[in-house]
Amino acid sequence: MKSERLRLCLLYLVFVINRADGGDAIAGDAECPWRLRLKKRVRRWKNSTTAPWQSLVNDKLGGYAFARSIGVRTPEIYACSEGVPQLDGAAWKDNFVSKPLDGYNSQGILIAKNGKTLHDGKSVSQAGMEMFYKSYPKTPTKAQLFLVEERITPSSDVHQRKGVPADFKWFVFGEKIAGVHYMERWSGFKPGMGQQRSCTRAYDANWKPLPFPPYYEKMCDIVPRPTHFEEMKRVVTAMGKKLGVHYRIDMFVTRAGPVLGEFTPWSAAGIGSQQWQCLLSGFWEGVEGGGRGPLPPIPDILRDWNDQTPATEKCKRVQMLQKKQHRPAAQHGTKAQYGRMG
């Protein structure tokens, strides 16, 4: 265990030194260039003149809009808030997830279940919300924006830890699936800290455990194939096809069917086990990883996405899509729901 931790620390140190020096390669990049290709993608996608439309779904609301527009269920948004969400009079105040719109790595996620916050077990209160977010990193040039959305209920007790649903992180290259990074998290979502404890395991596209970890973290026990697995795979494949590039698509599995978590275009900055990086490298084709042909056309819902300012207007657009697609939970996940994916 100690030697594995030392190996991870050394790899991370090499990554930091390489980034500081402006270099493009670290050991293993020549044989397995997935990390290097992600680094080049960051440069393209951070430049508005070279970024493809697919970069828009990296935005949480943009990802929700894209998914909803083709019939994929996303967590229902209860509110978009400039500043810490207000609980007074809110119908959702006992069961919800609050998260900063610009957050990542589980930073600033507050989960309430039956009137209790999962990170400390205390009763939900406005004072508690304010204290939780007091130390969250602020962006000095603009107001901090938060999403308040439904709390996802896992499909089974096997695929969750202490009320937190497991993540199914699908690595797609267009419509091809390289593998699934399964992740369980628990023990506190502190502001600015991300998940405090987690375990991971790698599976192939048919839920066969792979003999190596995706990252240098604690390995989860092998878990049964989740319910709705084939449906989730079909949804992910359809979204990957419409995107036409390499993406990590995070999903949850609920009793009612699969639900989108988010889209990530540069997973963990390319850090991972050498075997995992080599697996992903073997699927990359073309500039953006999804093939050598032209990229798919931009969906109508995203054509003027960057013109929707402030972000609260984007939030309203997603909420309008929710209302159009609202149906009883028993109907979520049916083939009819995903009929526009083709």
Q: What is the per-residue DSSP string for 76-101? A: PEEEEEESSPP-TT-TTTTSEEEEET
How far apart CA 61 and CA 238 sit, in angstroms, is 19
Tell me what the mean pLDDT of segment 1-11 comes to.
42
- Where does the pLDDT of residue 12 fall: very low under 50, low under 70, confident under 90, or very high at 90 and above? very low
Q: What is the mean pLDDT of residues 179-189?
A: 79
Query: What is the model's pLDDT at position 192?
Result: 46
The pLDDT-based confidence of 55 (bands split at 50, 70, 90) is very high
pLDDT confidence of residue 312: 85
For the 76-151 domain, the top CATH level (class) is alpha beta
Q: Are 124 and 231 in contact (CB under 8 A)?
A: no
Indicate whether 16 pLDDT > 60.
Answer: no
**pLDDT value at position 142?**
55
Concatenate the DSSP letters of all residues of 312-338 into one string.
HHHHHHHHHHHHHH---GGGTT-TTTT
Instruction: Detail the DSSP E strand segments found in the chain.
Output: 77-82, 96-100, 110-113, 116-117, 145-149, 160-161, 164-165, 167-173, 176-190, 194-203, 246-254, 257-264
Distance of alpha carbon 7 from alpha carbon 205, whole angstroms: 28
Give the residue with greater pLDDT, 240 vs 21: 240
* Average pLDDT across the chain, whole number: 83
pLDDT at res. 154: 84
Residue 265 makes CB contacts below 8 A (sequence gap 6+) with: 38, 41, 45, 54, 55, 58, 245, 246, 247, 248
pLDDT per residue as tens digits for the range 230-240: 999 999 999 99
Beta bridge partners of 247: 172
Q: Identify the pLDDT of residue 337.
A: 42
Tell me the pLDDT tens digit for each residue of 202-223. Answer: 999 999 999 999 987 789 999 9
- Band (pLDDT 50/70/90 cuts) for residue 340 is very low
Of the chain, the percentage scoring pLDDT greater than 90 comes to: 57
Q: What pLDDT is stored for residue 243 in this prediction?
A: 98
Give me the amino acid identity at 206.
Answer: N
- In which residue ranges of the chain is CATH 3.30.1490 found? 76-151
- Please compute the mean of the pLDDT values over residues 317-338 and round it to a whole number: 61
pLDDT for the residue numbered 217:
77
Highest mean pLDDT among 60-64, 115-119, 162-166: 60-64
Nearest Cα to 110, choosing from 165, 191, 44? Answer: 191
